[in-house]
Amino acid sequence: MSFVSDRAKVGKNVKIGQNVVIEDDVVIEDNVVIGHNVVIRKGTKIGGGCVVFDGTILGKVPFRSSISAVTEDKDLPSLTIGNNVIVGANCVIYRGSFLEDFVFVGDLVVIREDVRIGTHTVVGKGVTIENKTTIGKYVKIETNAYITAFSTVEDYCFIAPEVTFTNDNFLGRTEKRKKFFKGPTLKKGARVGANATILPGVVIGEDALVAAGSVVTKDVPPRKIVMGVPAQVVRDVPEDQLLENQSYYREE
């Protein structure tokens, strides 16, 4: 048996599974499919044509431990999900985030508060995107990648499986570290290979490529390939791999 608040607004042709909870002031547009055991928290907005698979929580309110360094006690706007978004099974997407139209979220994904994800972006299975992060459009983030807080990923970037972003050069020591939290920035069309680690504040230039397994400790120039531990520039990105030469690229 499901519970739908009488203060929720549910559109036409919405299919709701078993054991679903839809709280006050939720808005669900037309032609949405909600799987079994889904919880949709207060005020969440879901656009038309979306699919939410079993066991997912939408609009979770963050909570903090006594030693949390980044999570804030503050009021957050409602979670907003655009049109034709797919959210996989057993995901948690927090209040205060915004997913644009046609985003795809795989199973077991966690998206924290204050995150914005652009249209047609794919977030693969098991990915974690921490708070205060911006992801552009047409981005692909593959299985089990970790995107730390205060990160920026611009349009058309590619992040391979098991990539790790970091944001704390002090590794949890000293109070002054809190002033310097900064995740990596991937500029438009940048690509990062599997199991690479990107250190705090590093900027990966437009169309640059980080080879698999690299540890990137300093900024990467545009259109260069870096590899190694620590990563060093080895050559230019081949002309046929540049974003401007890809059939799917839509210049604006």
Tens digit of each residue's pLDDT (9 = 90 or more) over 89-141: 999 999 999 999 999 999 999 999 999 999 999 999 999 999 999 999 999 99
**94 in any annotated domain:** yes
SS3 38: coil
- Residue 173: the pLDDT is 84
Domain assignment present for 169: yes
pLDDT of 179 reads: 79
Q: How many domains does the chain have?
A: 1
Kindly report the backbone phi and psi dihedral angles of residue 240, in degrees, each rounded to the nearest multiple of 5, phi listed first: -75, -10
- Cα within 13 Å of Cα(23), Cβ side: 15
Give residue-wise pLDDT tens across range 57-86.
Answer: 999 999 877 666 666 677 899 999 999 999
Structure-block tokens of residue 161: 């499986």
Domain assignment of residue 250, yes or no = no
35 neighbors 55 (Cβ within 8 angstroms): yes
Q: What's CA 232's distance to the chain center, in Å? A: 28
Within-domain flag for 119: yes
Q: What share of the chain in percent tops pLDDT 90? A: 88
What does the chain come to in residues? 252
Q: What residues make up the domain containing 212?
A: 3-245
Position 30 in a domain: yes
End-to-end CA gap in the chain? 48
Please tell me the pTM assigned to this model.
Answer: 0.94
CB burial readout 197-212, b (16+ within 10 A) else e: bbbbbbbbbbbbbbbe
Contact 93, 58 (CB under 8 A): yes
* Assigned domain for 137 exists: yes
Is 173 a member of any domain?
A: yes
Which CATH number does the domain housing residue 176 bear? Answer: 2.160.10.10
- Whole-angstrom distance, CA of residue 79 vs CA of residue 46: 8
Quick one: which of 17, 76, 27 has its CA closest to 52?
Answer: 17
In a domain, residue 95? The reply is yes
SS (H, E, C) 14-60: CEECCCCEECCCCEECCCCEECCCCEECCCCEECCCCEECCCCEEEE
